Amino acid sequence: MPTESILTVNHLTINPIKQVENKLVNDVSFHLPKAKITCIVGESGSGKSLTALSIVKLLSSQLESLGEIIFNQKKLHELNDKQLRSIRGSEIAMIFQDPMTSLNPVFTVGYQVSEALLAHHKLTKNEARKLTEKAFTDVGIPADRYDNYPDELSGGQRQRVMIAMAMINKPKLLIADEPTTALDVTVQKQVLDLINNLQKKHQMTVLFITHDFGVVEDIADQVLVMYRGKIVEQGVAKSIIKNPKHPYTKALLKCIPSIHSKKTLQPIDYLKLEREMAKL
């Protein structure tokens, strides 16, 4: 494993149990450089989220995962549930797509973030509350929101709560699964800037899942392009955006709207794409 990498995935394959031929993720390999933002980009169904969930073994029980996942020299694929629980939420944290389905509506947001602290540290409830209030202010939420319930916050505030929960234990790796999808454009930009700033402040490694090359252009150092369960192109984000090699990457880039250009957006012609890929 390269010394500068914090996570290496080797030959990851995911398929429904007893359906070996139906590969949802097919022989995927990549590594994440330390203290960098890597984006996995692709359409819905390309295998992005399954790849991310497999890292911390959060896949459905109806799916099986094969391959090697090494985090900080630990072979995650060999760890049992108890060993993984000590890593989830502390060394590796995750932000999910829809905060309303991740937050429990019957508990205050402060209590739920404090729980993430108490699960990994020996603290009093008062100490956990003070650290949670500090985490709230760090992500732009007033500390007095601690006693609010999820439905008392806006969508953007709920997502900031999820970021605070993910960051509370200062993880080495943050996995963000399309955290801006359910937000309007203005709030999306605020959340992206927040994650970008926190990454730089804490020198954290981020794996960011998105279907939008505009997000990749905004925050990514590295990019992995996924199509039908496979990585078809990977490398430095700026280089791939400027000079894409794979037909699918080129097709995705043509779907990005721009306020600086009057170009017509081009939907992906899948028949043409498959013909071009067959020539590779």
Amino acid 45 reads G
Average pLDDT estimate for 176-183 = 86
Please report, for residues 12, 38, 180, 187, the alpha-carbon distance to residue 204 in angstroms, rounded to integers and kept in the order given: 24, 11, 19, 22
Average pLDDT estimate for 11-20 = 91
Percent of residues in the chain assigned helix, strand, coil, to nearest 5:
40, 25, 35
Least confident segment among 159-173, 233-247, 264-278: 264-278
**DSSP-derived 3-state class of residue 116:** helix
Long-range contacts from 123-132, C-beta under 8 angstroms, 24+ separation:
131/168, 132/164, 132/168
Comparison of pLDDT for 263 and 189, the residue scoring more: 189
Residue 25's pLDDT is: 96
95: part of which helix (H) or strand (E)? strand 92-95
Average pLDDT estimate for 207-235 = 94
Convert the pLDDT of each residue in 116-156 to its tens digit: 999 999 999 999 999 999 999 999 999 999 999 999 999 89
Residue 1's pLDDT is: 42
Convert the pLDDT of each residue in 73-112 to its tens digit: 999 999 988 899 899 989 999 998 888 888 999 999 999 9
Q: Is the pLDDT of residue 3 over 70?
A: no
Q: Is the pLDDT of residue 279 over 90?
A: no
Residue 201: φ, ψ to 5°: -65, -40
CA–CA separation, 187 vs 192, rounded Å? 9
Convert the pLDDT of each residue in 255-268 to its tens digit: 877 666 677 778 89
Average pLDDT estimate for 193-208 = 94
Structure tokens at 180: 């801006």
Q: Is the pLDDT of residue 2 over 50?
A: no
With vertex at residue 37, the alpha carbon angle to CA 205 and CA 239, rounded to the nearest 5 degrees, is: 145
